Chain A
Amino acid sequence: MMNIKALGGCCARSTQNFFNIQEAVKKLNLDVEVEQVSDTNEIMNYGVMATPGMVINGKAVSSGRMLSVEDAIALIQRHQG
């Protein structure tokens, strides 16, 4: 079971990032709940210093970038295996 987190809650960009990741999950027909993380300490524990970010199965795969739906799909596919 895949675990996906969208990091960042402080600005509109992070929220958009979260929505785009949710959209990507839907398009890929995955049964995954995307969780939005806004606690700074928790974000830092992934080694991410700039939001928005994305974590797949406990590993940061994106930092400081607002992902488009296509970007998110590509990242999920790359880290799916």
Chain B
Amino acid sequence: MGNFIITQILGMQWLNQIIGDLIKLIFGDQFSLSAWGGSLQFFIFDFIKIGILLCFLIFLVSYIQSYFPPERTKKILSRYHGIGANTLGALMGTITPFCSCSSIPLFIGFTRAGLSAGVTFSFLISSPLVDLGAFVLLTSIFGIKVALAYVIVGLVLAVIGGTIIEKTGLGKHVEAFVLDGENVDLDFIKLTQKERLSYAKEQMLFTYKKVVLYILIGVGIGAIIHNAIPQSFIETVLGSDNGFSVLFAVFAGAPMYADIFGAIPVAEALYLKHAGLGTILAFMMAVTTISIPSFIMLKKVVKTKLLVSFGAIVIIGIIMIGYLFNFIETLFI
């Protein structure tokens, strides 16, 4: 039963079957069995599947999010201290809508409210890295174990990263104007059910429009990897036996700026070609967490020393996660 949900409902294997049959019907047996036929099938299937899951999930997640606007998150977090607060910060990050444009007011608001640097950075790391939508999508492609592993190590990275920044005192290197202002609490704006649904719908359309290009590119790259690049090549370069595969994946992924939904199809194709599991997780994490636009934004509120340390901590963390998972994977095979 659980398997049926994963392969048919979340994985939509029935749709894959239909698309395969249609390609065969239109282009004939020979093309549909060729590498390009396979690529085309991967492209169409993944694009539709990710689109459907994405819209459904964004709607659902946005509805939940409407109960946790950042102004409320700030108030909740200000009641907690220590490692528990960091953990809660990381968890709240998973349900808060994130775009690099909103990170500045969040950062200023949290800091002025007296939240510790640890909480703020735990939140900043987990927000783009882990979300409910990504969890369900990962489940549909890699199965529940890998999806859970991704979420858990993502949260652990956020908590530890935030803690290091706080304990080493790096967290105080923020620009003066950030601290130079009053904390203003917003009276909680209560929304009606109708407003929540309209928010969820607007959020869904907006997000889909925003990420559709990334999905197209991601699925396109995935389709090429899927069939045009030989498995032996992927295994040699990105397989878990290659000691450099994780480093390679992280430094290739870090400068890329894509949503998690664009990174997933690439990861999927690499996985099918036997790239190491840790290598793939590291790649996805590097693409989503570290990007040039979000660093340019953060540069406005933190000093270079903190920004560089933040980047270094996250990169080292991701590399360690990659090697750990490649190691675990080899133990089981």
Q: Which of A's residues lie within 8 Å of B, judged by CB? A: 10-11, 13, 40-41, 43-51, 59-66, 68, 71
B residues near A64, Cβ cutoff 8 Å: 69-70, 97
Is B102 a contact partner of A63 (Cβ separation < 8 A)? no
B residues near A47, Cβ cutoff 8 Å: 71, 184-187
B residues near A65, Cβ cutoff 8 Å: 195, 199, 202
- Determine if B242 is an interface residue (Cβ-Cβ < 8 Å): no
A residues near B102, Cβ cutoff 8 Å: 49-51
User: Which residues B149-187 have CB closer than 8 A to chain A?
Assistant: 177, 181-182, 184-187
Q: Determine the main DSSP class of B at the interface with A.
A: helix
Q: How far is the CA of A45 from the CA of B108 in the complex (A)?
A: 11
In the complex, 25 of the A-B residue pairs with CB atoms within 8 angstroms, ordered by the A residue number, are A11-B99, A13-B206, A40-B105, A40-B108, A41-B177, A43-B105, A44-B112, A44-B184, A45-B182, A47-B187, A48-B105, A48-B186, A49-B105, A50-B70, A50-B71, A50-B102, A50-B105, A59-B187, A63-B186, A63-B189, A64-B70, A65-B202, A66-B202, A66-B206, A68-B198
**Given contact pairs A40-B104, A49-B106, A65-B199, a sample of 6 additional A-B residue pairs in the complex whose CB atoms are under 8 Å apart:** A41-B177, A44-B184, A47-B187, A49-B105, A50-B102, A60-B189
- Determine if B226 is an interface residue (Cβ-Cβ < 8 Å): no
- Determine if B220 is an interface residue (Cβ-Cβ < 8 Å): no
B residues near A44, Cβ cutoff 8 Å: 105, 108-109, 112, 181, 184
A11 shortest CB reach to chain B, Å: 6
Is A71 a contact partner of B198 (Cβ separation < 8 A)? yes
Q: Among A49, A60, A71, which residue has its beta carbon within 8 angstroms of that of B195?
A: A71
Q: Among B71, B198, B199, which residue has its beta carbon within 8 angstroms of that of A49?
A: B71
Q: How far is the CA of A63 from the CA of B186 in the complex (A)?
A: 9
Q: How far is the CA of A45 from the CA of B112 in the complex (A)?
A: 11
- Determine if B101 is an interface residue (Cβ-Cβ < 8 Å): yes
Q: How far is the CA of A67 from the CA of B17 in the complex (A)?
A: 42
Q: How far is the CA of A50 from the CA of B187 in the complex (A)?
A: 14
A45 shortest CB reach to chain B, Å: 6
B residues near A68, Cβ cutoff 8 Å: 198, 202
User: Which residues B49-90 have CB closer than 8 A to chain A?
Assistant: 69-71, 74
B residues near A51, Cβ cutoff 8 Å: 102, 105
Closest A residue to B199 by beta carbon equals: A65
User: Which residues B191-205 have CB closer than 8 A to chain A?
Assistant: 195, 198-199, 202
Task: Render B85-128 as a binary contact track against A, CB cut-off 8 A, 1 for contact.
Answer: 00000000000010101101110110010000000000000000
Q: How far is the CA of A56 from the CA of B63 in the complex (A)?
A: 25
Is B186 a contact partner of A60 (Cβ separation < 8 A)? yes
B residues near A43, Cβ cutoff 8 Å: 105
Is A10 a contact partner of B101 (Cβ separation < 8 A)? yes
Is A46 a contact partner of B181 (Cβ separation < 8 A)? no
